[in-house]
DNA sequence: AATATAATTTGAAATGATTACAAAAATAAG
DNA sequence: CTTATTTTTGTAATCATTTCAAATTATATT
């Protein structure tokens, strides 16, 4: 997706498409790597002169509040971010620490009987060992 | 469950049933409140003389590694613990911050096609507003 | 274009949860 | 009872995130 498309997407979502916001969203959309703030910082610091980590926190919090980004809490001490807000699950590998998406349909998720509850977010996480790391262990 | 039963349960799981371990497991099993370390600490400090927070971390990490307790990562900055290791989901209320269980059958969880992956843990979290808090907002 | 106003970014310090580590205490074994 | 091993403790370190005030940048108005 090009910067222009990102800009109009942000605008449509009620977010002023400032330069750094566009760059950060662009990073999330193109990399699709469920990054931590540190990962974003170390990748974008080369590209954006004088970028601050606080800015990344600010922008991501804005994105999450505006609903254009999901905050993933898979492992206790880190938040990962995902610009794909469609229904899908996440698998985290214990060995390589990578997070990958898997498709699930909204209607396939079990609907518990929670009368009178308002449900805003669904999170379905799996943890284990990915096929790549499993093969390495075998060998 | 009584201390005696807790002891033999821990023993069976390969954990020496030392006094503090039994008390902490007993707390988890009886309260079922998905506590943070702080919650456990402030509740048990009255009961166990000279209890240290580090001990709670130690014991809980042991419990998780031995598979008798689940570590829940629902919200980014806190880990909650659950001694119910059977398949079930969790709902966290944004307002009162409480976590409640809901029953789901293992076979109702969607099984993604992740060929060659070893899946160890399933986590299904919902977030929103519980019925109690929803009512208060209405009023 | 110049100025005023508002929004954003920065960086340093504060916070909060968790871990590391070495000394002290408790437990088990000889 | 003595020694070896395991567990607990408390302090300090670490790591992610937030707070906050000052500096910068963007927007609106003249």
For B36-50, the pLDDT digits (tens) are 999 999 999 999 988
For residue B1, the model assigns a pLDDT of: 62
Give A75's pLDDT tier (boundaries 50, 70, 90).
Answer: confident
Nearest CA to A130 out of A102, A103, A106 is that of A102
Tell me, in Å, how far CA of A104 is from C1' of D7?
Answer: 45
pLDDT reported for residue A119? 94
- Residue-level length of chain A: 139
Chain B residues touching A105 at Cβ < 8 A = 110
Cα distance between residue B84 and residue A32, in whole Å: 34
d(CA A123, CA A74): 9
Q: What is the mean pLDDT of chain B?
A: 93
Asked if the model's pLDDT at residue B87 lies above 90, the reply is: yes
- Enumerate the β-bridge partners of residue B90: B101, B125
Instruction: Tell whether B112 lies on the interface with A, counting CB pairs under 8 A.
Output: yes
CB contact under 8 A, A121 and B118: no
Judge contact between A9 and A68, C-beta under 8 A.
yes
Nearest Cα of chain B lies from the Cα of A78 at a distance, in angstroms, of 7
Residue window 70-109, chain B: list those with CB within 8 Å of chain A: 71, 73-76, 78-79, 89, 91, 94, 102-105, 108-109
> Average pLDDT, whole number, for chain A?
94
Question: How many C-alpha atoms does B11 have within 13 Å on its Cβ side?
Answer: 9
3-state secondary structure of A114: coil
Q: Which residue is nearest to nucleotide D24 (CA to C1')?
A: A50
> Which bases of strand D sit closer than 7 A to a protein CB?
6-11, 15-20, 26-27
- pLDDT at residue number B115: 93
Cβ contacts (< 8 Å) between B71 and chain A: which residues? 76
- A18–chain B nearest CA distance, Å: 27
Say if residue A138's pLDDT is above 80: no
What pLDDT band is residue A1 in, cutting at 50, 70 and 90? Answer: low
pLDDT in tens, A26-68: 999 999 999 999 999 999 999 998 899 999 999 999 999 999 9
Question: Most A CBs within 10 Å: which of B34, B60, B76, B122, as the mutation test of the A interface?
Answer: B76
Using a 7 Å cut-off to protein CB atoms, list the covered nucleotides of chain C. 7-12, 16-21, 27-28
- Other residues' Cβ atoms within 10 Å of the Cβ of residue A131: 13
pLDDT in tens, B3-16: 889 999 999 999 99
User: Is the pLDDT score of B62 beyond 70?
Assistant: yes
Residue ranges of alpha helices (H) inside A45-129 are: 53-66
- Two structure tokens written together for A8: 């109009």
A83 pLDDT above the threshold of 90: yes
Task: Find the closest chain A residue to B133 by CA distance.
Answer: A117
Q: What percent of chain B stands above pLDDT 90?
A: 83
Q: And the tokens for A34?
A: 């469920």
Nearest by CB: A91 against B71, B117, B128 = B117
Reply yes or no on whether the pLDDT at B76 is more than 90: no
Q: For residue A3, what pLDDT band results from cuts at 50, 70 and 90? A: confident
Q: Which residue has the higher pLDDT, A77 or B83?
A: B83
Per CB-CB distance under 8 Å, the chain B contacts of A120 are 94, 127-129
């Amino acid at each position: 997706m090009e910067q222009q498309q990102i800009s109009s997407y942000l605008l449509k979502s009620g977010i002023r498409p400032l330069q750094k916001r566009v760059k950060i969203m662009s990073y999330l959309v193109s990399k699709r790597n469920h990054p931590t703030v540190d990962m974003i910082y170390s990748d974008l610091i080369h590209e954006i002169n004088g970028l601050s980590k606080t800015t990344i926190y600010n922008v991501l919090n804005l994105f999450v509040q505006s609903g254009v980004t999901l905050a993933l809490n898979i492992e206790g001490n880190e938040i990962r971010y995902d610009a794909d807000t469609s229904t899908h699950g996440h698998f985290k590998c214990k060995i390589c620490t990578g997070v990958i998406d898997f498709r699930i349909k909204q209607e396939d998720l079990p609907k518990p009987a929670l009368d009178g509850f308002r449900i805003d977010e669904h999170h379905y996480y799996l943890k284990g060992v990915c096929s790549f790391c499993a093969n390495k262990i075998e060998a």
